[in-house]
Structure 1
Amino acid sequence: MQQLNFPRYTFRVKNSENKPLIFDDIRKKFVRLTPEEWVRQHTVVHMLQAYNYPISLINVEKELKVNNLSKRYDVVIFNPDGSIKLIVECKAPKIKINQDTFDQIARYNLALKAEYLMVTNGINHYYCQMDYEAEKYIFLPDLPTYNP
């Protein structure tokens, strides 16, 4: 897999029926190793190691309803009180981050009401803090580390 713009992390990978799999510590199982999953797994480990978020507050690949449509978010990090701290939208490295990507995560956030948003393709990372009063997001140079 392609080197990403994250520190080097170690992952458990294996092949099954000629398909590469990677172990997801959040879902506690091996999942198909696609380019997007490679980015998602790096993002999760980065949140654990660089930002010190507890594994118990991280959720991966769950369904949500947006305008009565079923969607799946990539990564959500909760606050200890159950509110949502961060939504992460992961794309494969070859996918350019553009306005459509921000529109997608903004639609998810209509239902989730996160404090922060992150969009990444593993190469470029964008961080935003929500300003609900002004109905906009404010770009940030980085995310805050975990502070319970």
Structure 2
Amino acid sequence: MQKLNFPDYTFRFKNSENKVAIFDEIRKKFIVLTPEEWVRQHVVRLLLENRQYPKSYVNVEKVIKINGLTKRYDVVVFQPNGEIFLLIECKAPNVAISQNTFDQIARYNMVAKAQYMMVTNGLNHYFCQMDYEQEKYIFLRDLPDFKAQ
């Protein structure tokens, strides 16, 4: 897999049915290793190892309903009260981060109501805080520290 713009992490892999799988610490199972999953697993490690986000508040690949359509978010970090602290959208490294990517996460966030959002393709990372009063993003230099509320 391609080198990404993240610290180096050690992952567990296995081969099954001629496919490589990577162990997901959150889902506690091996997942087929696709370019997008490679990015997602780096994001999870960044949250847990570098940013010390509580593992019990991190959730991966769950269904979200948007205008009656079933979608899946990539990574979410919850608050202890159940509100969403951080919503993350992962793309494969060969997928450019475009306005469409921001539109996608904005649609998800209409339901999620996250305080913060991150968009990454593993090479480029964008972080923003939601200003719901002004209905705009405030771009940040880095992920926010986790603050339980």
- Provide TM-score, normalisation by structure 1: 0.98
CA distance in 2, matches of 1:95, 1:72: 18
Offset at 1:101?
A: 0.1
Q: Which residue of 2 aligns with 1:64?
A: 64
CA distance in 2, matches of 1:54, 1:117: 17
Q: Which residue of 1 aligns with 2:116?
A: 116
Secondary structure (helix, strand or coil) at the match of 1:65 reads: strand
Sequence identity percentage: 67
Deviation readout 1:92-114 (Å, 9 max, x if unpaired): 00000000000000000000000
CA distance in 2, matches of 1:131, 1:139: 10
* Unmatched runs of 5 consecutive residues or more in structure 2: none
* Unmatched runs of 5 consecutive residues or more in structure 1: none
Q: Which residue of 1 aligns with 2:139?
A: 139
CA distance in 2, matches of 1:105, 1:147: 22
Secondary structure (helix, strand or coil) at the match of 1:56 reads: helix
CA distance in 2, matches of 1:138, 1:146: 17
CA distance in 2, matches of 1:37, 1:147: 27
Aligned length: 148
- 2:26 maps to a residue whose letter is I
Moved more, 32-41 or 75-84: 75-84
| Runs of 4+ displaced beyond 2 Å | none
CA distance in 2, matches of 1:100, 1:108: 12
CA distance in 2, matches of 1:127, 1:147: 16
Q: Which residue of 2 aligns with 1:89?
A: 89
Secondary structure (helix, strand or coil) at the match of 2:146 reads: coil
Q: Does 1:29 align with 2:29?
A: yes
